[in-house]
Chain A
Amino acid sequence: MAVGLPENIFITKLDAAANWARSNSMWPMPFATACCGIELMATAASRHDLARFGAEVMRFSPRQCDLLIVAGRVVMKMLPVLQRIWLQMPEPKWCISMGACACSGGVFDTYAVVQGVDRFIPVDMYVPGCPPRPEQLLAAVIEMQAKVRRTGTVMGREFTIRDTPDGPTPFDQDERYRIQDANLIQLGGFSAAATGKGLQGRSNRG
């Protein structure tokens, strides 16, 4: 200890002090759209008790939260809502993508479901599972706290350097093929398709 300091006075870095406070009082925004939401509730309930890690304050307003937990599949119609919620959360903020559907679309490989929310919003932590057990979500929250302590800065410099999208591009290559096919149909490339009696023998990609 430094000589000359009175009792109960510590010297630390501002970053470390901020990280200590932030990591021990994460307020989650539950974006629960499917069965992962049930596990999220179980995580917050008495048996698994998310309050042990200071994250029990589920705020249903994004303006009071700093940890977005996307629990469940997100459909295309819902994505603007998710993006708006993310933009409404004040800094500093983090995002956990919980479950197979939020991470990759899961079994819902259809036109209506987002194939992973990291294509459109930044994600810090992925939780695998269908749905993940509460222990897994607890592990993710603990890991999130460790990440905040490890990389956090009081001015949020670790956020400003992430200026490229975290996830894959919104369009997969096979999706580009399907868009090309659609354009060909509109241009009359498949004349039989215009009568509705065509398309036999031609493989519909996807």
Chain B
Amino acid sequence: MVELSVLQSRFGAGITESVFRDNRRIDVSSGSVFEILSGLKAEFGFSMLIDLTAVDWLEYEGATDRFSVVYLLLNMDTGERLIVRTAVNLPDPCLPSVYSLWRGADWMEREVFDMFGISFTGHPDLRRLLMPEEFDAYPLRKDYPLKGRGERHNFPVITRSGS
């Protein structure tokens, strides 16, 4: 298991650790996340990106940042798992893309962009994944109403005599 002290001596003391139900999480700053992830892949053997997703902390008690972006890593040799979290905020939530490290990040980053509006610089094709192209809201943000704001209601209404 990679000790926190080893990570801190390698990547700086800004890394903090927490454990929830046997899941180890390390919190890193958004400025150093790409360097840390590429180091984890190259030097610590975390060769697989299991998942990349985001959390909106709006109105969450005790939260200090608006969004967290979560990377779930797996060491294919030892079976060790590690969760890396970083925080981004409005008005311009932006992170470096990890597409160059793991090709599997392609659609994951597109989904996070689609649902949360977090953009990834360096992504080769950052388009919406699930919602239609002309949709201009981010549905998984907590301030987005469940019923939407009528983004896609501008279709023509077909009457019987007109069809």
Contacts and interface: CB of A to CB of B under 8 A. Distances in A.
A and B associate in one complex: yes
Interface stretch (B17-25, B43-51, B104-112, B151-159): B151-159
Given A79-B155, A83-B156, A160 B161 contact: yes
A14 to B, nearest CB: 21
A193 B149 CA distance: 16
Interface string B135-163: 00101000111111111111111111111
Interface string B46-62: 00000000000011000
A205 interface: yes
B147 A109 contact: yes
B161 A171 contact: no
Contact of B132 (A77, A162, A179): A77
A84 to B, nearest CB: 10
Contacts, number: 108
Contacts of A182: 137, 149
Interface string A114-143: 000001111000000000000000000000
Given A76-B152, A179-B149, A197 B66 contact: yes
A86 B157 CA distance: 12
B91 interface: yes
Contacts of B148: 110-112, 175, 178, 206
A195 B66 CA distance: 9
Classify chain B: how many residues form its interface, as a range: 20 to 34
A165 interface: yes
Given A87-B163, A162-B160, A206 B155 contact: no
A6 B154 CA distance: 60
A121 B158 contact: yes
Instruction: Specify the main secondary structure of chain B where it touches its partner.
Output: loop
B42 to A, nearest CB: 34
A86 B66 CA distance: 44
Contacts of B151: 111
B145 A205 contact: yes
A158 B59 CA distance: 55
Interface in A66-88: 76-77, 79-80, 83, 86-87
Contacts of A119: 157
Contacts of A174: 147
Interface of B: 58-59, 66, 89-91, 131-132, 137, 139, 143-163
22 contacts: A79-B152, A110-B146, A111-B144, A111-B148, A111-B151, A112-B148, A121-B158, A122-B158, A122-B163, A159-B161, A160-B161, A161-B161, A162-B161, A164-B159, A166-B160, A170-B150, A175-B148, A178-B145, A178-B150, A193-B143, A196-B90, A199-B59
